Amino acid sequence: MKNISRRDFLKGAAAGAAGIAATGLFGASAFAMDAEDFRKDPIDWLGVEPEIAEADIAETLTYEAVVIGGGTGGLECGCSLAEKGLKTLIIEQNADVSTVRNDFGSIGSSYQKAEGTVINNKDVMNYHIMQNAGRFDQRLQKIWAEESGAAVDWVGGVYEAYGAILLHEAGYEPEFTGAGIPKFPTGHSGHFTRSQYPDGKSLLKQYFLDKGGEFRFNTQFVKFEHDGYKVTAAIAKDKDSGKYLRLIGEKGIVLAAGGYQNNEDMMNALQPDTRCLYGMQIGSTAYGDGIKACLWMGASMDDVHSTMLFDRMALMPTETQATGRGPMVRIGSQPWLKVNLKGERFFNESGLYDYAPHAAAAQPGRILISVFDANYWDNIKQFETMGCSRCYPFPNGAPNDGQYEHQTDDEFKKDVSDVIDAQVEAGRIVKADTLEELAEKMNLPVETFVATVKRYNELAAKGEDEDFYKEAYRMIPLETAPFYAFRNSSFALSTLDGVRVDTHSHPIDAEGKAFSGLYVIGDSSGSYFAYSYPNLCTGYAHGRTLTFARRVAREINGEEVKDYTIMATQDAVI
C-alpha cells in the first residue's frame, strides 16, 4: 500500500469529485456505486479481482454454513447457526476471535419491559431518518425495530448461561427528552465480573465451540467464486502455509468481515473529508477485503461514505489534529465549554459524538479545547450523558459498559479522577489555579479566553444559552479552581457504509438485483447509515448487526421469516 500525504489525498478528493460529476452518478443509480465507478478514482484502492488457478487450491472444505469474520457479527451469526445444529465454519484473519462490541441496542427486549421502558418506534425511526437524511433502506430499519428485542434476549440468555449478566441502561427517560436533542433508552451492556469469561468475545467463542462450531484462524479471505448471480464458494488463504482453500457453504455463506477503516487507500479515496477529522482508528483490523470482493463480482456499494467518529482523543497542548496522536479519554464527550485555538466558543457542545469534530473542522488546527473546573464530577453527573460516554450508573442502577456493577459512587468518581490525574501527569490535560494561567499553558490568547469564560458563566447563571442554545441543565459555570483543559480531537471507530443489501441481507447490484448464496451483515453491509451515526440510540450499530446475524441464521436454516420486501401483513417470526 502506498503512503499518501494529506496534500495528496485532498488533491485526490477534488479529482474524485470531478470524476463523479463526469460519470453521471447522480442519475438512475444515485444511491449506488459499482466497481467501474470506483476504478475511475485517482487512488486505485479497488484493484482487480485476483485470479487463483485451480492447481493452487490445496483443499476444498464443505460445510452447511461458512462465516467470514470472527468478530461481532460473525461470532453472533456463527453461534446462531451452530446452535441450530448446522455444521458451521468461521474463518478469521487474526490468530484469535476479533472485537465484539458490548453495547446492544434494541426496542422491546424483555430487559426493557422489566424496567417499564417503552420506546415509540416512530420516534426512533424518524430520528434516524433525520440524522441520515433518509438516505438508507427504511425497510431494514423496520426489521431492527421489530426483531431487535428478541435478538437481545437471545444474547442475554447466552451470557447468563455462562455466568455473565446483561443489564438494560434505563431511567433517564422521559425527564430529559424535551430538554433538547432526544435520547432513546435502547442500550444494554454485558458485565462479566461473575463469569469466568472476561468479555463477550471469549464467551461467545466458547459458546460456538460448545455448539459444535469450528474455527480456522490466521485464514485470510480472498474472493468469492460465483456463477453469475449465484455465489458458490469463498476462496481463502492459510496465512501460515500460504495455501489457498475453497470454502463451500451448502446452505449459505455469510460475510461479516467489517468495514474498511484500516485501509488508508480506501479512506483517503472515499472519505477525504472524514480523514481530516481524526487522528487514528481504534478497535479493529478491518481492511475492506469483503467489500472489495463483493464489488469485484458486480455488487454495489453505498455512494455516501461515512465513519463513526468519537470525540475522545486527548492531544498535547502543542499538537493539532494533523500532528497529534493521543489516548482515548471518555470525558472528551462531556458537554463542557469547548473553545477553538483563538479562545472562542463557536458551537453548541451538546449533541452527537461526531458533532464536535465536524464543528471543529472549520476551526484552526481542526481541533477544539475542552475546559472544566474542580467540580467536574458533579458536572458529569448533571450532564446526564448516555451510552459509552456515561461515567457513572444509569438511574436504574445499571453501570456503563466497562464499569462494575458493585462500585460505589466514590469508586466511579475515582475512576474518572484517575484518568484525569494520569493525563495531567502525561501533560495532555493542563491544570491551573487561574483562568489566565490555564490560557497561557494551553497557548491560548489570555484576554479572549477569559472573556469567553466570563460570557459562558453569565449565560449559565441566566439558565439560558442565548448564543448556541445548549440545554439549560448542561450550562454549568466554570468558577472553582483548579481549572483544567485539553486539546480534544477524535478517533474513528468504524465505517458506516458498505455493500448494498436487500431485506434478506443478500448483496445487490446497482439496479437492485440480488446475489444468492451470500449474506452480508455488520459493517460490511450498507443500506443502513449515511452521513452521521445516530448514537443517541445507544448500541444501535451493534443492535443492527446482532438482529441481522440472527435473522440470516434463520434464513440459512430454512426457517420462515417475515418478508419486509413489500411489508407483508404477517407477524414477524423471530
Q: How many Å apart are CA 415 and CA 301, to the nearest integer?
A: 42
pLDDT value of residue 453: 98
Which top CATH class is 308-492?
alpha beta
DSSP 436-493: HHHHHHTT--HHHHHHHHHHHHHHHHHT--TTT---GGG-----SSSEEEEEEEEEEE
Q: How many CB atoms lie within 10 A of CB 469?
A: 11
Q: Is 321:365 a contact under the CB 8 Å cutoff?
A: yes
How would residue 19 be classed by pLDDT, with cut points 50, 70 and 90? Answer: very low
Q: Which residues pair with 313 in a beta bridge?
A: 328, 489
How would residue 568 be classed by pLDDT, with cut points 50, 70 and 90? Answer: low
The pLDDT of residue 137 is above 80: yes
b/e map 25-52, b = 16+ CB within 10 Å: beeebebbbbbebbeebbbebbeeeeee
pLDDT value of residue 7: 35
For range 207-213, the mean pLDDT? 98
The pLDDT of residue 203 is above 60: yes
420: its cell numbers: 484525569
Q: What is the tens place of the pLDDT at every residue in 155-191?
A: 999 999 999 999 999 876 544 444 567 788 999 999 9
For range 502-522, the mean pLDDT? 97
% the chain with pLDDT above 90:
76
DSSP three-state, residue 312: strand
Torsion, Cα 8 9 12 13, to 10 degrees, reads -140
Q: What is the tens place of the pLDDT at every residue in 85-118?
A: 999 999 999 999 998 999 999 999 999 999 999 9
Q: Is 397:341 a contact under the CB 8 Å cutoff?
A: no
The pLDDT of residue 217 is above 70: yes
Q: How many Å apart are CA 325 and CA 342, to the nearest integer?
A: 21
150: its cell numbers: 428478541
Whole-structure pTM value: 0.91
Q: How many Å apart are CA 556 and CA 547, to the nearest integer?
A: 14
Q: Which residues in the chain are classed under CATH 3.90.700.10?
A: 308-492
DSSP 204-268: HHHHHHHTT-EEE-SEEEEEEEEETTEEEEEEEEETTT--EEEEEEEEEEEE-----TT-HHHHH
DSSP three-state, residue 175: coil
Q: What is the tens place of the pLDDT at every residue in 223-260?
A: 999 999 999 999 999 999 999 999 999 999 999 999 99
For range 274-282, the mean pLDDT? 81
Within 13 Å, how many C-alpha atoms sit on residue 392's CB side? 21
pLDDT value of residue 18: 36
Q: Which residues in the chain are classed under CATH 3.50.50.60?
A: 55-260+496-556
pLDDT value of residue 34: 78
DSSP three-state, residue 339: strand
The pLDDT of residue 1 is above 50: no
Give Dmax over CA atoms of the chain in angstroms.
77
Grid cell 472476561 — which residue? 198
Q: How many CB atoms lie within 10 A of CB 233?
A: 21
DSSP 8-state symbol, 184: B
Q: What is the tens place of the pLDDT at every residue in 48-82?
A: 999 999 999 999 999 999 999 999 999 999 999 99
Q: Indicate if the alpha-carbon torsion angle 429, 432, 435, 441 is positive or negative.
A: negative
CATH of 55-260+496-556, one of 3.30.230.70, 1.10.260.40, 3.50.50.60, 3.30.1330.60: 3.50.50.60
Q: Is 100:497 a contact under the CB 8 Å cutoff?
A: no
The continuous run of DSSP H or E covering 142 comes out as helix 138-161
